[in-house]
Structure 1
Amino acid sequence: MPKVGMEPIRRSQIINSTLECICIEGIEKMSLDMVAKEAKCSKGVISYYYKSKDNLILESFRAFLNYYKIKIDSEIRKNMTPYEMLRVVQENALPKYYNMNNEPEPKLNVSELDGVKLMNIPPAKKAKLFVNFFSRAMIDTNLQEALQEVYKEDYSGISSIISHGTKAEIFKETDINKSAYAIMALYIGISMLRVVGFKPEQINDDIDVFWNVMNSMFVK
């Protein structure tokens, strides 16, 4: 295995530290000084790699989004059924409910330098990052563009799974484009409900709701 140079190691440390600081202070209060302290490096090192706070936020957002893609890609296998593939997407894409008491959680890691298995974002931090970044994206066109790029890839990937299921006659004939968009809307909608901790008393399991919708769309 080739030796990893210092630059990717330092970059991953800075990105992880930035995400940690956003979880603690929020995206607006987060500063390069805070990140430097968390990453145990100088502010000059951060400026050398990322130039500005805005650029650091953008690259951290991309790393946060890419985390999901890496985790999903690592678990999907060619011999899986379309349903199993969608299950992998669902299990990784939807943030878990978390303890609202803000109990301490382990450090996050969105870098694959030490292997995909060690990549992890604890549930509470995942929710905090989700809210911080998506709120910022409302007024930051660079974050909007980064999110649109990821959504295009997600849309394409889900469309491919649906197409595979339809060709294999596992799914009933349907409009693949509309179905892929509907699945994305479900993921995003349930994610937001989970982030704020909302689940009606009448709903025992929102995953059951998700798969009930899936079955109504796809079961032959």
Structure 2
Amino acid sequence: MPKVGMEPIRKSQIINSTLECICMVGIEKMSLDMVAKEANCSKGVISYYFKSKDTLILEAFRAFLSYYNTKINSEVREDMKPFEILQIVQKNALPEYYNIDKEAEPKINVSEIRGVEAMNIPPAKKAKLFVSFFSRAMLDTNLQAVLQEVYKGDYKGILSIISYGNEIGIFKETDASKSAYAVMALYIGISMLRVVGFKPEEVNDDVDVFWSVVNSMFGK
């Protein structure tokens, strides 16, 4: 049995190592033996915390998605205006473009144990995880359920920002629900395009595209 107080640390090490292994070989080829080696622990320790490989994949996916919300929430302050909050959402929600020839990137850390500032998913690894998890989610109903749960929370968060803008008179949205869905669809769509590295030559900056659409919606 693990030492008292070690459970959160060990579980975070296993989750981070799982994400690293998925980046290296993909979900299908990732094994508990590989994760154990990466996490510098025994396969038995992994089995103690996670019942199976499928359970581990599910929890790793949940941690990967939670990473974004944790980063966003850590930067939002009560005195911020709606557009300032949306800027934080945009900055953290849109994955960076990555260079496939880039030198070796640092290790993944999706745990808050060492503080939010220490949490990090390098751009190339973020793209690999995005593709790996979302492609599997097309066939895995358990991953779909996690994704729907997270997206439901994202939708409510954006809806609350728009509703707040309406309350203080910055926005004049007659259908806040539709607008929240549109903003959410916009950043998810741009995320997909960024992950596959697609951007038309005519588009110099897709962040400008994001804000031109958002500003036209809210009349700024």
When normalised by structure 1's length, the TM-score is 0.97
Q: Does residue 1:105 correspond to 2:91, yes or no? A: no
Q: Does residue 1:39 correspond to 2:62, yes or no? A: no
For residues 210 and 92 of structure 1, what CA distance do their matches in structure 2 show?
13
For residues 42 and 71 of structure 1, what CA distance do their matches in structure 2 show?
31
Paired position in structure 1 for 2:205: 205
Paired position in structure 2 for 1:84: 84
CA RMSD of aligned residues (A): 1.0
1:3-53 per-residue CA deviation (whole Å, 9 max, x = no partner) reads x81011000000000000000001111000100000000011101110100
For residues 64 and 74 of structure 2, what CA distance do their matches in structure 1 show?
16
Paired position in structure 2 for 1:132: 132
Q: Does residue 1:10 correspond to 2:14, yes or no? A: no
The 1:23–1:102 alpha-carbon spacing in structure 2 relative to 1, beyond 3 Å, is farther
Paired position in structure 2 for 1:96: 96
For residues 173 and 14 of structure 2, what CA distance do their matches in structure 1 show?
47
For residues 20 and 100 of structure 2, what CA distance do their matches in structure 1 show?
18
Paired position in structure 2 for 1:161: 161
Paired position in structure 2 for 1:183: 183
Runs of 4+ more than 3 Å apart: none
For residues 196 and 103 of structure 1, what CA distance do their matches in structure 2 show?
19
For residues 177 and 58 of structure 2, what CA distance do their matches in structure 1 show?
29
Displacement after TM superposition at 1:169 (Å): 1.1
For residues 185 and 93 of structure 1, what CA distance do their matches in structure 2 show?
12
Displacement after TM superposition at 1:103 (Å): 2.8
Number of aligned residues: 217
Task: Please show how residues 133-148 of structure 1 align to structure 2 within 5 Å.
Answer: 133-148=133-148
Paired position in structure 1 for 2:63: 63
When normalised by structure 2's length, the TM-score is 0.97
Paired position in structure 2 for 1:118: 118
Paired position in structure 2 for 1:74: 74
1:114-164 per-residue CA deviation (whole Å, 9 max, x = no partner) reads 100000100001000000000110111110000101001000000000001
Displacement after TM superposition at 1:102 (Å): 4.9
Displacement after TM superposition at 1:167 (Å): 1.3
Q: Does residue 1:149 correspond to 2:123, yes or no? A: no
Displacement after TM superposition at 1:175 (Å): 1.0
Return the letter of the residue paired with 2:184.
M
Q: 5+ unaligned residues in a row in structure 1: which ranges?
A: none
Secondary structure of the structure 2 residue equivalent to 1:33:
helix
Return the letter of the residue paired with 1:60.
A
1:172-193 per-residue CA deviation (whole Å, 9 max, x = no partner) reads 2331000000011111110010
